[in-house]
Structure formats: structure tokens, C-alpha cells
A and B are shown apart, each in its own frame.
Chain A
Amino acid sequence: MNNNSIKSIIDLSSDLRWKIGDDFYDGLAEGIYADASKIASRSVSTENQNKRFGIDSKIDKIVTSKTWGFPIMFLILGVILWLTIIGANYPSAMLSQLLLDTIHPFLKGLATSISMPWWLDGFLIDGVYLAAAWVIAVMLPPMAIFFPLFTLLEDFGYLPRVAFNLDYLFKKSGAHGKQALTMSMGFGCNAAGVVATRIIDSPRERLIAIITNNFSLCNGRWPTQILIATIFIGAVVPSSFSGLASLSAVIGIAVLGLFFMFFTSWALSKTVLKGEVSTFNLELPPYRPPRFWKTIYTSLIDRTMIVLWRAILFAAPAGAVIWLISNIYIGNESIASWTINSLDSFGFLLGLNGIILLAYIVAIPANEIVIPTILMLTVLTNGIVGGQGAGVMFELDSANAMGDILRAGGWTLLTAINLMLFSLLHNPCSTTIYTIYKETKSVKWTTVASILPVIMGFVITFLVAQVWRLF
């Protein structure tokens, strides 16, 4: 056995290939299909030749029609989002009643009764448990509603039609029509949205979809938007319009997110991603009646639980960190207040403050705990009466009461607007970052996807703050 003979085989193939020329692949593909065609014709008999099946084509004519295509699509997406946001309120309230208002005090009581040292009790119960409980209460209900609904549509076969309808728009910004779906999925959870980009088989467009998924406001961020809009935006208009005003502000932010998504997609496809291979094809599969219970079950197990589990894994340590930084003192100052002071001037430049920036740093694992962390830190650093002690996150039942605390902490309308903007434009949560890494297997693209939005957030909030202060 010698390697010369291998080399001669490879050289022979090189030579033969050169003689065949450029049509090798075409010839091969045509040859295989010719065989396929012959074999199929011998064993298949059918009455309706090459026609798509009746009912399918009727549904398709409607859902992709010029008149009905878009209204049907927006109606369905609207209904799903509405069901998710409104429907999740009740179980969310129940869960938070149970986990935060019942079990948490119970655990505290238990800890006291077995005379657990205060630091262990604080670290475990106020830190780890509270963060995990918070994430479950906020995240589980909307995801348990959103994902099964979305999965039902997916199994039915409607989603490829959405991609078909919207492709023209996405193509303009260098993206793939299927990005419409990964974006919608991102409204539920960015990590799930990133996983969903697997359906995009073109490398460039898939990376675009992954990097820009963060511009879809996810479940963890909707509550922040709604709360801040209610407290601050609703307050500047007459009370009869306050609901409308805060609602439009939230929708405005979501639409702004879409705008950034299109803009960033376009910019990426023209610059760093222009060398990635780009192809397009979209199969419109036949409609298949989904098997309702099985779909619900698998989507709960596959999407909701996995995402929730990952979120808890990341949130629990974050809770611990939050408790630790508020309770470990260096000299006279806790780590938290020291960090807040050093971040304050940068925060001021962005029209935010040190507390918000710190909250976003410690809440990288889970956006759900941003508001409770901000409230806790505001009470702590400003010595306001209220709250539950150092490192214990909390929320109040009434938006007004929370507004009072924040205003006492020096918040203005500018702070609120910039917080809403920053909540849209900042790094993805650590679950999403981890997922991006797993999907792309590339440190480079994970870094781009993590850093890019936060830089945009800095620039936008900075500009807004300066212009605001000029006038």
C-alpha cells in the first residue's frame, strides 16, 4: 500500500473532471431525475396529474390573495398576541400570589424557626429562590399560551404561507421571508426565536435572522414596557386618554423594534455578512390537520419547558448575585451602591441612571427581574421607606406607588422614555446569547449579536437625552 496510488487516483479524477467541464452537476442531477421519473411512472398511477389537491389550493388562493393575504395574517398574529398578553395575566397573578406572596414568606418563616444564619437565608431565599420564582411567574404563563398556539399554526402548514406573503418586504432588506416567523417567535422568547431560525436554510439570511431576533420585544420585556408606559407616559396626558397613550407608546416601541430589525438586516447584509452564501427557496407544504393534543403536549415539553428551564438556570445565580452585591460591604458602601455611584455619570449621559445600568448588568440572565431589581436598588440607595430589605426584589400592587418610589429616585419622563428604548435596544439575555452560540457555533457572531444592540442602545438613548435637554 503506498500513497502514490492514492495520489494517482486523485490526479486521475482531477484530469477527468477537467475534461467533463462545467456541466458535471447539471448532468448528474438531470440523470438522477430522469431515472426517478422513469421508476415513478412505472409504479404510480394517479387520476389528477400534477395538480395540487383541491382543498389545499382553495385555502392557498385565499391566504395569499392580494386582498385577504395581509389582513388574515395580521388578524391571526394579533389574536395570538392578545391571547398571550391578556390570557397570561390571570395565571401570572395566581403564580406570583403563590410563589412570591405565600411560599416566600413561608420559607422565610421556616428559616427563622430553624434559626438559619441571616446570610444563608438571604442568599438562598431572597436571592436564588426569589429570582427563580419571579422568572417562573412572569415567563411561564405567556409561553405556555404562545408556543402551543404558534405550534398549531406551524403544524397546520400556515406559516410557510406567511413567509411567502412577506418575503418581498424582507428581501428588500436582504433577509428571508421566513424571518417573519422567527421574529414572531421572538415576541414570545428570543431564545426560541433563535432556535427557530433553523428553518432558514440559507447561511447568510439565517445569520441575519439570528442577530436581529433581539429586536423583537420578548415576553420578559413586555411587562417592563407596559409598566413604565402606564406610570410615566399615561401620566402626561389627561387621565381619560392615559390608557390609550401608554398603549400607543408600547406599540410604538414594538414597531420601532421592527424598524431596527429591517435596518440592521439591511446593514448586515451589505457589510459583514455579504460574503456568506445566500440562496432562496420556499416549499409550500400541503396543509395537514394538526393533532391537537399531541401538538400541545410536544410544544409544551419541547419549547416552553426547555426555554423555562434554561431561564431558571440562568436567573437563579443572578438572584444570588443581586442579593450579594447589596449585602457585601467594602468599607462603608455595599458593592451595589459603589457600582451605582461609578455608573451614575455615564447613566446620566444616556438619560438613565446608575441604578438602571446596574440592574441591566445583573439582569443579563433574565429581563424579567429588571423592574424588581430597579425598585429594590432605588429604595436602598435613596433611603426611601418601603421595600423588603437589602437584596430583596419586590414589586408593588399599585403602579402609582411604584411611580412614587421611582420619582423619589429622581426619575423623569426622559428617564422613562430612555428606559423603554434601552429595554428594546440592549444585549440579549444570557439564555439567548448561549442559544446563539449553540446555533452558530461561532464566537464571532455571538459577540456581534450581543454587542451590536447594546451599542445601538447607547447611541440612541444618548442622542435622545441630549436633544431632550437642548429644548
Chain B
Amino acid sequence: MNTYNPAYALLLFFAISLLGYLLFRPQKGWFWVIKNNLKSNEKIVIEDILKQLYHTENSGKEINVNSLTRALKFNDRIIVEVIGKMTNNELVQFDGDVLKLTNSGRDYALRIVRVHRLWEKYLAEKTGYDKMDWHEMAETKEHELSYEETNLLATQLGNPKYDPHGDPIPTTLGEIADVKGEFLSALAVNSVGKIVHIEDEPDVIYKQILAENIHIGSQIRVVKNNKQRVVFYAEGEEFKLAPIVAANITVRILEKDEIIEENRVRLSSLKEGEVAHILGISKESRGESRRRLLDLGFVKGTKISIDLKSPMRNPIAYLVKGTSIALRKDQASKILIKKD
């Protein structure tokens, strides 16, 4: 006990805590970094290159080895080495200095894209992970699932056509539904459309879209579009976005006969004493949460009114089919109604 001194004991404690934090903090911890580096083998590099090429070609651009090394975070030497092997295996070919996918390369790329989007769908439907985490997790998982596992997953998810962001999921045969649409930032004033895709990269912009509470599948009407602001109405609310943010939202212009009544609003805007009918649940409500709402009777045509407000005004209890059911505000914002 002679060497004991409370101050030293405290110092030692904090030193150990700091070390533990540096080693194991989420994502950036040294332990995880080392573990990831050990795992990044050739297969992952090949698949990431294929995916990068696929996305580039899809957006109608071209890519060479230089820009590829910049886009991927692997060691340049490894990338060059792997591209060599890939040309030998006829996954890619050079057209001048432009790198292109061969047919078998494109098939392979589609398989990776399929796993990625299916996994995002899985995370959205069957787990509680936050939207912000989906992409990162799918980036890892896409290299791990085998062909059979992927198909089993697809069956369990009911063979979905689109991932939660609105991107089409390729089928086993490589068929892919197309997403037609224009960027929100490019829409003329007064055009009416439906949000079909919300891009989840880069993080900064995605976070802003989430914070605005913009929901995929909403019908919108643009009211203002200039260099500073894109302003639009959706579900009874007004949204203002910077054009750079709006450019990450894809909207499909609706034909006249497709336009559904525009006085659909969110349940969260219902006031005490008002009566409304449910029009449906937003695509933004997913998985178990969505099913539970449907099972509880929040289905099209059901009469709904406010029964009780809690002291903090959130949650609010709604009267649905003779029963009082409390919902939180974020849930209520995903139920669409038409006030009577």
C-alpha cells in the first residue's frame, strides 16, 4: 500500500479509459481499422472496382485507371495489380485508356449491386438500424453473401423491386426495373410529381434531407425554384431546400390522370375536434412498424380523430375503429389523411 496515491490511481484510470476509447471507439477505433485492413482482400477490391465501373457507366460517364484510384480508398499499387488480373479474367477491358466492363463483368457487378440493395432493404424491413447506417453496413455485407444466401434473403423479403432509397434491385437474371425521373432541382414551377428516389450519399446532404422530414413516395408541387431555394409543397407541409440538396432527390413527373387529390395531409397536422379519413401510410414507414399500424386498423378509408393528448403533447392517442391508440409524432407524420 505504500505506493498508493489517489491522484496516481485516477491518472492510471483515465489513461486506461483513453486507450480503450482509442482502440474500440466505433468505426475509427484502431482495433476496427486494423481488423478491416486485414480483411480487405483481393475479392473486395475486385468487387468494388466492378461496382464503381457499373455506377459510372450507368450515369453515362467514362473512367480511367487514374480516376478510379482516386475514387476508391485502396492502395494504388493493389488496384493496378488487381485490374491486371481482371483483364486476364475478362471482367474488364480497356478502350484506349478508358476502362470498361465486359459482359461477364457487368453480370458480376449486377450481382454485387443486387446484394447491396437487398441488404439495405433487409435492414430497413427487418431490423431497427437507423437509415444513416444502412449504406455503410451494406457496403460490407455485399462482399459476404453467397448466391444462394442472397436468393433466400430475397424470398424472405418477398422479392422486392426497389430498395428503401428507391433504387431498383436487379433480379437473379439481371433484369432491372428503371427509375424514370428528374432531379428536384431541375423541375419547373408548378410541376407535380412523386418522389421516387432519395440519394444517401454524401452523408452531409442526406442528413439534411432526413432532418427536413421529407418522405419517399410523397406527391409534391414545386412553388418556387431559383438559384437560392427550391420550395415545394408535399402532404400539406412546405419544404425549402438548397438546390444542391434538392439535386439529390429524384421526382417522377405525374400525368394529369395520375395526380391524386392534393388535400392529403399528414396525421400529425390533425387538430383536436377535427375528423378525417385515412388515405394510406407513407412509404417512409417500413417493416414491423408499418405492419403494426396496418394491423391496428390504420387502413385506407378508416375514420380517425384525436382522442387524447398526453401532457407533453407527444404521443397523441387517436380514436380508430372504436379504440384509442397512442402514436408518437414521427409515426403520425407518416400517416396520410384527408380532413372531412
Complex contact A279–B292 (CB within 8 A): yes
In the complex, which residue of chain A has the Cβ closest to the Cβ of B10?
A466
Complex contact A284–B288 (CB within 8 A): no
Interface residue? B287 (CB, 8 A): yes
Interface residue? A397 (CB, 8 A): no
CB distance from A156 to the nearest CB of B (A): 16
CB distance from B338 to the nearest CB of A (A): 16
CB distance from A345 to the nearest CB of B (A): 7
Which residues on B sit within 8 Å (CB–CB) of A282?
315, 317, 325-326
Partner of B281, one of A26, A66, A271, A345: A26
CB distance from B89 to the nearest CB of A (A): 31
Q: Interface-forming stretch among A162-170, A311-319, A421-429?
A: A162-170
Interface residue? A333 (CB, 8 A): no
Which residues on A sit within 8 Å (CB–CB) of B202?
none
Which of chain A's residues 164-188 have a Cβ closer than 8 Å to chain B?
Answer: 164-165, 167-169, 171, 177
Which residues on B sit within 8 Å (CB–CB) of A17?
158-159
Which of chain A's residues 26-72 have a Cβ closer than 8 Å to chain B?
Answer: 26, 29-30, 33-34, 50-52, 57, 60-61, 64-66, 69-70
In the complex, which residue of chain A has the Cβ closest to the Cβ of B137?
A275
Interface residue? A438 (CB, 8 A): no
Known A165-B311, A168-B312, A281-B293; contact A29-B299, beta-carbon cutoff 8 A:
yes
Interface residue? B130 (CB, 8 A): yes
Known A50-B303, A167-B326, A283-B325; contact A274-B129, beta-carbon cutoff 8 A:
yes
Partner of A280, one of B1, B307, B319, B328: B328
In the assembled complex, the Cα of A149 lies from the Cα of B307 at a distance in Å of 28
The contact string, 1 if C-beta is below 8 Å from chain B, for chain A 349-361, is: 1000000000000
Which of chain B's residues 24-52 have a Cβ closer than 8 Å to chain A?
Answer: 26
Complex contact B161–A21 (CB within 8 A): yes
The contact string, 1 if C-beta is below 8 Å from chain A, for chain B 3-22, is: 00011011001000000000
The contact string, 1 if C-beta is below 8 Å from chain B, for chain A 340-382, is: 0000010011000000000000000000000000000000000
Which residues on A sit within 8 Å (CB–CB) of B328?
167, 171, 280
Which residues on B sit within 8 Å (CB–CB) of A466?
6-7, 9-10, 13
Interface residue? B271 (CB, 8 A): no
Complex contact A284–B129 (CB within 8 A): no
Which residues on B sit within 8 Å (CB–CB) of A60?
307-308, 324
CB distance from B194 to the nearest CB of A (A): 14
Which residues on A sit within 8 Å (CB–CB) of B293?
281
The contact string, 1 if C-beta is below 8 Å from chain B, for chain A 1-27, is: 000000000100011011001101110
Which residues on A sit within 8 Å (CB–CB) of B7?
466, 470
Complex contact B6–A469 (CB within 8 A): yes
The contact string, 1 if C-beta is below 8 Å from chain A, for chain B 98-137, is: 0000000000000000000000000000111110010000
Complex contact A22–B296 (CB within 8 A): no
Complex contact B296–A281 (CB within 8 A): yes
Interface residue? B181 (CB, 8 A): no
Complex contact A52–B307 (CB within 8 A): yes
Interface residue? B314 (CB, 8 A): yes
Complex contact B10–A278 (CB within 8 A): no
CB distance from A75 to the nearest CB of B (A): 15
Number of A residues with CB within 8 Å of any CB on chain B: 57
Complex contact B326–A345 (CB within 8 A): no
Interface residue? A277 (CB, 8 A): yes
In the assembled complex, the Cα of A251 lies from the Cα of B236 at a distance in Å of 48
In the complex, which residue of chain A has the Cβ closest to the Cβ of B169?
A18
Interface residue? B331 (CB, 8 A): yes
CB distance from B63 to the nearest CB of A (A): 32
Complex contact B294–A168 (CB within 8 A): no
CB distance from A456 to the nearest CB of B (A): 13
In the assembled complex, the Cα of A15 lies from the Cα of B171 at a distance in Å of 10
In the assembled complex, the Cα of A284 lies from the Cα of B319 at a distance in Å of 10
Interface residue? B243 (CB, 8 A): no
Complex contact A168–B155 (CB within 8 A): no
In the assembled complex, the Cα of A53 lies from the Cα of B301 at a distance in Å of 23
CB distance from B24 to the nearest CB of A (A): 11
In the assembled complex, the Cα of A115 lies from the Cα of B232 at a distance in Å of 94
Interface residue? A146 (CB, 8 A): no
In the complex, which residue of chain A has the Cβ closest to the Cβ of B125?
A277
The contact string, 1 if C-beta is below 8 Å from chain A, for chain B 298-340, is: 0111110101111110110101001111111001000000000
Interface residue? A150 (CB, 8 A): no
Which residues on B sit within 8 Å (CB–CB) of A52?
307, 319, 322, 324
Interface residue? A462 (CB, 8 A): yes
Complex contact B128–A275 (CB within 8 A): yes
CB distance from B271 to the nearest CB of A (A): 16
Complex contact B314–A276 (CB within 8 A): no
Interface residue? B226 (CB, 8 A): no
Which residues on A sit within 8 Å (CB–CB) of B326?
164, 167, 281-284
CB distance from B295 to the nearest CB of A (A): 7
Interface residue? B162 (CB, 8 A): yes
Known A17-B158, A33-B299, A466-B10; contact A66-B128, beta-carbon cutoff 8 A:
no
In the assembled complex, the Cα of A165 lies from the Cα of B309 at a distance in Å of 9
In the complex, which residue of chain B has the Cβ closest to the Cβ of A203?
B128
In the assembled complex, the Cα of A345 lies from the Cα of B294 at a distance in Å of 60
In the assembled complex, the Cα of A279 lies from the Cα of B298 at a distance in Å of 15
Interface residue? A204 (CB, 8 A): yes
In the complex, which residue of chain A has the Cβ closest to the Cβ of B314?
A168
CB distance from B33 to the nearest CB of A (A): 18
In the assembled complex, the Cα of A168 lies from the Cα of B327 at a distance in Å of 11
Extra contacts, 12 of them, besides A277-B288, A463-B13 (Cβ < 8 A), are: A26-B280, A26-B294, A29-B291, A30-B301, A50-B303, A164-B308, A164-B315, A168-B310, A276-B127, A278-B128, A280-B315, A349-B9
Question: Could you list 20 examples of A-B contacts with CB < 8 Å?
Answer: A14-B159, A17-B158, A29-B294, A30-B301, A164-B308, A167-B310, A167-B315, A171-B314, A275-B127, A277-B128, A280-B328, A281-B293, A283-B296, A283-B326, A463-B13, A466-B6, A466-B10, A467-B6, A470-B6, A470-B10
B interface, CB within 8 angstroms of A: 1, 6-7, 9-10, 13, 26, 126-130, 133, 154-155, 158-162, 171, 280-281, 283, 287-297, 299-303, 305, 307-312, 314-315, 317, 319, 322-328, 331
